Amino acid sequence: MSNDDLSKRQRTYRLRQMRVNRYRAGLHFRSTLAGLLSLICCLVISSIQTRPIAAHEPAVTAPCHAEYQWPVDHPTILKAFSNPPQPWLSGHRGVDLDAEPGLPIRAPAKGSIAFAGQVAGKSVVSLKHEKATSTFEPASTELKAGSKVRKGEVFAKHEGGSDHCGDHCLHWGLRSGPKSYLDPASRVTAKLIGLKPPLD
């Protein structure tokens, strides 16, 4: 092989490497930019939702990677979650949402009907999710136990007439175990996204 041929091959190789490096740099830039935009979105929403939600004040729905969604449209929290220090003490193991009788209830996350019926004279519907179970009362559904529902799908309706929170209130409880209750409102807030450096 002559020196001229070798030089041409070296130049061709260098040009090819330059194109590959420019392409990778463009991918890195686009990936980083998309990640930064998502992070800014979540930071803005999180800063908005750090303010307590007062009674009769519309709650903010987080569109940025929220784990759950509100079960009613235009939610207003009438009574917030209050986890007792011990399981046997009194507290408020869920949130009470402003709701008219007959209001459709949407699935906060995908799941299946775990229970629908009367509990101590109350109409209750439970929805089993992947990591937790939502319970609504007073509520009723025409779906049978085991029926699967998608996130956001209407699966029940508000019955009204509960001794827990009156005719215009829907109680939403969320638990990850028999005595492990979660704050539903904290599950509909945005979560920060961890950015990883692009791979070479």
Confidence (pLDDT) at 86: 75
Asked if the model's pLDDT at residue 70 lies above 90, the reply is: yes
In the block, tokens 């950015």 appear at: 195
Asked if the model's pLDDT at residue 165 lies above 80, the reply is: no
Cα 104 from Cα 190, distance rounded (Å) = 24
Q: Which CATH number fits the domain that encloses residue 128?
A: 2.70.70.10
**Cα 66 → chain centroid:** 3
Residues 12-38: tens digit of each pLDDT = 666 666 664 564 554 444 445 445 555
Total number of domains in the chain = 1
Confidence (pLDDT) at 1: 57
Residues 81-115: tens digit of each pLDDT = 988 877 777 778 899 999 999 999 999 999 999 99
3-state DSSP call for residue 119?
Answer: strand
Residues 166-192: tens digit of each pLDDT = 788 999 999 998 778 999 999 986 544
CA angle 156, 75, 118 (to 5 degrees): 30
Query: Which contacts of 24-33 are long-range, i.e. CB under 8 A and separated by 24 or more positions?
Result: 24/200, 27/198, 28/198, 31/198, 32/195, 32/198
Q: Which range marks the domain in which residue 183 is found?
A: 1-200
- The pLDDT mean for the chain works out to 75
Asked if the model's pLDDT at residue 7 lies above 50, the reply is: yes
Asked if the model's pLDDT at residue 160 lies above 50, the reply is: yes
Q: Any idea which of 39-43, 90-94, 124-128, 163-167 has the lowest mean pLDDT?
A: 39-43
